[in-house]
Structure 1
Amino acid sequence: MNFTDEQRKTLVRPANNDLIIRPLLKREPQCGRSPQLQRAERIRMSRKVFPIAIAVLLNLSIVPAFAGDDLPNYPVETWCSRVSSISGTKSEMLYGGCIDQEQAAYDSLKKNWSTLPRQTKEWCDRVARTTGGGSYMLLNGCVDQESAAKQQNSTRRFQR
């Protein structure tokens, strides 16, 4: 590999003996480049890196972590507060109804969660988290629909 003098100043050789170029700690003027051009290059580079970093962070936050057969832990009170305040001020009636429905969905899921296929658990958890923190009502609805679709698809055949 051919490196410029600038790059040679930043070479690092870690334990695995691969060469890595580290960023300069001090911004030294680059030969023949105006500060405006250097700034434009940094902005252009950050526009390339920023979307990748966001995508990585989003993927990490979406991937569910399942500990055995435990149901996911959703912040029900936060979700119900958001739902009951959708029109601006909080409705106690909506909040109470939301908590009751979330509890009923949780209780229903708890009975058969350990028997569900892992694929269904992961997919439906992602669906339930699309609202933010998660909803047991959405999770339960997704599980019911996935189970029904699996049963229907077992007899479904394409005909020519």
Structure 2
Amino acid sequence: ILEATNGREALALAERESPDLAIVDLNLGPPGPESPSGFNLLQRLRERMPAIVLTVDQRPESIRRAAAAGAWGYLLKSSDLHNLSATVEIVLARSRDLRGKKPETEALDLATGWLMATYRLDQPAARRALVHLANEKRCTTSEIAQEILESHQLHSALGRFIAERVHASAREEG
């Protein structure tokens, strides 16, 4: 557990230590060029890690601003320890899920798009084709998607190589 007394310290700690989660108080003292406000800190941490707001501020406007700034959760300091612990566990699990699935999801989306463009399929048909191939090869749809993408990349590279050779040969002859 790391603790910072202001936004500047929090940013420095986040950069140096790369924690899995930030718990941010919206009242970090007066914001300035050296020390961001709680909302600004949420925005700056947004791409690095999930953040939960823990504050005394119950105003709906603050809740909306925190959500817009990237907060994954919003708890009042009057919340009991069980609520804080449960929120931390849920946010950490969700963050791990998103980080772990992103490459798989990206490969599935790319392979689906390639199947749609190549074979003029709609999205559900392309996904069914991926599932069918995965079942046939006894592997996951992510593995099939990766194979399709690698095959497409190899085919494209081979096509470029052959085209360059044909072009070079034509120059030599002509």
Q: Which structure has more strand as a fraction of its residues?
A: 2
- What TM bracket, shorter-length normalisation? under 0.3
Q: Which structure has more helix as a fraction of its residues?
A: 2
Which of these two proteins has the greater Rg computed from alpha carbons? 1
TM-score by length of 2: 0.25
TM-score by length of 1: 0.26
